[in-house]
Amino acid sequence: MPEGLSPGEVGKEISEHRAHTLNEKEGSGGEAKGQDRVMTIIEAVLLAVVAVIAAWSGFAAAKWGTESSLDLARASAARTEANRAAYQAADLRNFDALTFNAWFTAYVAGNKNAMQVAERRFRPQFLVAFNAWLTTDPFTNSHAPPGPTYMPQYAQPELAQANLLDARADHYYSLGEAAANTSDGYIRTTVYLASVLFLVGISGHFRVRGARTAVIAVGGIILAFCIVLLILAPRPPL
């Protein structure tokens, strides 16, 4: 979907305005004079300014639209990596729970050989938490944690990485949403510029000078408003 006013549309309007001006001159038997000539010049200037501003606004809208797409793509990639890390953390936690259950079953059965086999299957990170859990005297201390995975020594780097990637995905999503809103703002400005193009295009068809002046004045006010919007809008990314 094209964004803003195309150079062809603005050029067509300028050509039609020039042709209409020439027809007015021929119909009046010569060159337009006085206030009519001033209005014709003002209309031409407005069209020229609209052409430049519309091109800039369309360019900025396209750049911000591209930036939004890139940021949203980065957010999606980060979210996928976060999910992968979270799944890996969950799998490792399940493995730790299974090996601990095997050790606990052997402990209850009094099978020391099975206990040693289960301990050899412990991951190094889990073994640290397991040894810390044993120091709490869990078999006689009713306030001891339910298991090694509840100990502060039980660390899961994969889960921390998942949280970090989730935060990064949220950041990129916010940037993409802001960029999309900025792009919409530039497109909205081009709609206002299109109304200026329309007003200037029909102004020459009014035979009453007061009506023509009013239409041009309204177009000039809208154009000034568009210029203010573009000045306040964020600059397009490099």
Domain assignment of residue 1, yes or no: no
Structure tokens at 5: 């006013």
* Total number of domains in the chain: 1
Domain assignment of residue 238, yes or no: no
| Enclosing domain of residue 107 | 7-232
Domain assignment of residue 2, yes or no: no
Tell the burial category of 132 from Cβ atoms under 10 Å away from its Cβ (0-12, 13-18, 19+).
middle
Domain assignment of residue 87, yes or no: yes
Query: Residue 81 corresponds to which amino acid?
Result: E
Percent of the chain beyond pLDDT 90?
A: 65
Torsion, CA 220, CA 221, CA 223, CA 228, rounded to 10: 140
Domain assignment of residue 140, yes or no: yes
Q: Is the dihedral of CA 23, 24, 27, 28 positive or negative?
A: negative
Domain assignment of residue 160, yes or no: yes
Helix (H) or strand (E) holding 166: helix 157-203
The whole-angstrom separation of Cα 60 and Cα 220 is 22
Percent of the chain beyond pLDDT 70?
A: 85
- Name the band, by pLDDT with cuts 50, 70 and 90, for residue 224: very high
pTM of the model: 0.71
Average pLDDT over residues 63-75: 95
Query: Tokens 């020229």 sit at which residue?
Result: 48
pLDDT in tens, 131-160: 999 999 998 888 999 999 999 999 999 999
Domain assignment of residue 167, yes or no: yes
The contacts of residue 210 (CB under 8 Å, 6+ apart) are: none
pLDDT in tens, 151-186: 999 999 999 999 999 999 999 999 999 999 999 999
Query: Residue 162 corresponds to which amino acid?
Result: A
Contact 204, 41 (CB under 8 A): no
